[in-house]
Amino acid sequence: MKKLIFVNLKMYLNTIEDIQNYIDNLKNEKDKIVIFPSNIYLYEFIKQNFQIGIQNISSYPKGAHTGCTSALSAKDLGVKYALIGHSELREYEKKDTINQKIKQALNNNLKVVLCIGENLEHYNQNKTKEIIKKQIEIALENIKEQIIISYEPVWAIGTGLTPKKEEIKDIIDYIKSLFNYKIKVLYGGSVSDKNINKLNQISNIDGFLIGSAGVNPNTLKKIIEVTQK
């Protein structure tokens, strides 16, 4: 089955020339991927009809919030998805901020991709399920609308490490069991062209959230090829 391929470009590409090369190289793949560029380049992708997500949104609707981007302005520009709760931001957020961001996104008809995942200490203590259940409960308090989850163990992000196939399958089954609808669950954390064959065999994965391996269009094309069979 074809998988969702979401690419979080983080702050990897920092010139308009790099962005334009990236767009040129991936123009034939644009129906197979969703790109999350940094805000300053969102419109470059939207102009070229890519499906686009935003890496973060404000927990407020509008007003005196310097440096923030509202869900309304993202929607108005043509953004389709909002990544919320990424671990690279989570540590700076208050307990209820993620919940408020999700509400902002849903109020503005953005599709929410909620990131959850345990750190290494919790993984070693076998507390993964306990941690992600709590993260989901806090993030989704009083929210009934459907969302997408990305399971991203913090210790697997940018480290070249991943959990074992069986562990990922078990956690994804567990996440799906917590919802009363058929939720889509992605896996993220050191997905690459080297391990995609193996990761793609995990039967209950609905797709991947790719970081650094998505920055090189050729590497990304290899990943797309494996996952679109």
Binding footprint of ligand 13P on the chain (CB under 6 A): 8, 86, 152, 157-158, 188-191, 209-213
Beta strands at 4-8 and 33-36: parallel, antiparallel or unpaired? parallel
Is 152 designated active site? yes
Question: Of 9 and 131, which has the nearer Cβ to ligand 13P?
Answer: 9
Cβ 223 to ligand 13P shortest distance, Å? 10
Catalytic residue among 29, 44, 65, 86: 86
Distances (CA, A) of 98 to 34, 111, 134, 193, 228: 22, 14, 13, 31, 32
* 122 is annotated as an active-site residue: no
Report, in Å, the least distance between residue 190 CB and ligand 13P. Answer: 4
> 37 or 189, CB closer to ligand 13P?
189
Residue nearest to ligand 13P as judged by C-beta position: 211
Do residues 187 and 209 lie in contact, with contact meaning Cβ atoms separated by under 8 Å?
yes
Closest approach of ligand 13P to the CB of residue 208, in Å: 9
Minimum Å distance from CB 93 to ligand 13P?
Answer: 16
Q: Please choose, from the candidates 142, 141, 122, the residue with its C-alpha nearest in 3D space to the C-alpha of residue 131.
A: 122
68 and 56 Cβ atoms separated by less than 8 Å = no
- How far is residue 215's CA from residue 223's CA, in Å, rounded to a whole number? 12
Q: Are 151 and 173 in contact (CB under 8 A)?
A: no
Of 103 and 117, which CB lies nearer to ligand 13P in the complex structure?
A: 117
Give min distance, CB of 8 to ligand 13P, in A: 4
Closest to ligand 13P by CB, 34 or 140: 34
Toward ligand 13P, which CB reaches closer, 83 or 106?
A: 83
Q: Report the chain's terminal Cα–Cα distance, integer Å.
A: 7
| Residue among 141, 152, 166, 225 flagged as catalytic | 152
- Both tokens assigned to 71: 């869900």
Element holding 170 (H helix, E strand): helix 165-177
Q: Is 56 left (phi over 0), alpha (psi -120 to 50) or beta?
A: beta
The residues annotated with a catalytic role in the active site are: 86, 152
